[in-house]
């Protein structure tokens, strides 16, 4: 895709030292000529590492701050044209144990970003969401759902044409921090891989695909949309077998706050959803939004009762595709033969 829409613009990424932020920054600096590219995050060491990785680019700015601090955001957003809001606490077990900390970052922080963007006249704001925000069963998903609502509703009190806010919702990012892929790689030498449930499925997206989709959403947004890419699904069992062939699979049980399958468009969302060739758009249910805007871009309403879920998807990744996407260029060696004959085993959790 073309990135010239960022030329001569000031772009800011909250949570910019995370997996997505680093890849987005590298892509923007390689394929566009932004006037400034501001990495807003609270970890000075990660910023120093990012500076080393990206080099001394004249457009790069490293800005220490926390989205919980509204005043700091106001300072950072001065003269900014585009904001990508990627800052979040996203580890499900940590959020369950530290609920208020998760709320302060994911909800209060989101509202701070909305307020600062409107006050400073930022032209376009995209917030990164999660499939866990659809019919949430854990605190992380609930906070992301609230954040989605805040960004969509923010368009109601932004001056029309001055600040547009939208959301991108996608599934598990392959290779991001917290991904199961590094875990499977690390444990395959042991001959045993833990999985939560053999039936479990997930939506799957690569980091580059996520960055590209966010860039497209920035170009197409009018304000108020939730953009959802069409993604393949993966069975966690198939992923484990692709990365660790011959290993025993120990079924340890679903953790608290975890779903068997993920959903990106619920039946309720579908009433306002339109379909494009490679993505969906959930349109806002506000009087200032006309459903004709979706049709004008070539969108068509989804069928009655439509639900976009990882277990009923029509696109699935097989073993070889998974190995390729995970960067497994060399054949994975099977672990030494085991006394149990090498058969897969499921251990009750």
At 149 the three-state DSSP class reads helix
Say which of 46, 90, 123, 132 is annotated catalytic: 132
Pairing of strands 263-265, 308-309: antiparallel
Q: Which two tokens stand for residue 235?
A: 């069975």
d(CA 313, CA 319): 17
Pairing of strands 263-265, 279-282: unpaired
SS3 content of the chain, % helix, strand, coil (to 5): 40, 20, 40
**DSSP result, 13-59:** EETTTSHHHHHHHHHHHHH---SEEEEEES-HHHHHHHHHHH-S-TT
Instruction: Tell me whether residue 46 is one of the annotated catalytic residues.
Output: no
Cβ atoms of residues 70 and 115 within 8 Å? yes
Catalytic residue positions?
A: 132
């Amino acid at each position: 895709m073309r990135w010239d829409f960022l030329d001569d613009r000031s772009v800011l990424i909250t949570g910019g030292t995370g997996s997505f932020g680093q890849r987005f920054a590298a892509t923007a600096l390689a394929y566009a000529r932004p006037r400034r590219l501001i990495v807003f995050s609270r970890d000075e060491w990660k910023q120093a590492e990012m500076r080393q990785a990206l080099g001394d680019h004249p457009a790069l700015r490293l800005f220490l701050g926390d989205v919980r601090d509204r005043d700091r955001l106001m300072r950072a957003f001065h003269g900014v044209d585009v904001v990508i809001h990627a800052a979040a606490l996203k580890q499900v077990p940590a959020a369950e144990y530290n609920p208020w900390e998760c709320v302060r970052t994911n909800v209060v922080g989101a509202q701070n970003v909305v307020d600062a963007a409107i006050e400073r006249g930022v032209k376009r704001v995209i917030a990164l969401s999660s499939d866990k925000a659809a019919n949430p069963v854990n605190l992380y998903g609930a906070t992301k759902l609230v954040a989605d609502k805040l960004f969509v509703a923010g368009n109601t009190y932004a001056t029309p044409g001055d600040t547009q806010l939208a959301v991108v919702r996608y599934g598990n990012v392959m290779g991001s921090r917290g991904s199961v892929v590094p875990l499977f790689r690390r444990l395959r030498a042991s001959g045993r891989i833990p999985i939560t449930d053999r039936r479990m499925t997930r939506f799957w997206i690569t980091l580059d695909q996520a960055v590209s989709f966010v860039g497209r959403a920035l170009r197409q947004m009018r304000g108020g949309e939730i953009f959802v890419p069409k993604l393949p699904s993966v069975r966690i069992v198939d992923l484990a077998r692709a990365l660790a062939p011959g290993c025993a699979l120990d079924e340890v049980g679903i953790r608290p706050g975890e779903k068997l399958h993920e959903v990106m468009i619920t039946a309720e969302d579908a009433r306002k959803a339109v379909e494009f060739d490679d993505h969906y758009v959930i349109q806002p249910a506000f009087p200032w939004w006309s459903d004709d805007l979706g049709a004008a871009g070539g969108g068509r309403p989804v069928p009655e009762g439509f639900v976009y879920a990882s277990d009923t998807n029509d696109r699935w990744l097989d073993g070889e595709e998974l190995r390729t996407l995970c960067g497994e260029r060399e054949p994975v060696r099977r672990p030494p033969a085991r006394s149990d004959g090498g058969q897969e085993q499921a251990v009750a959790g």
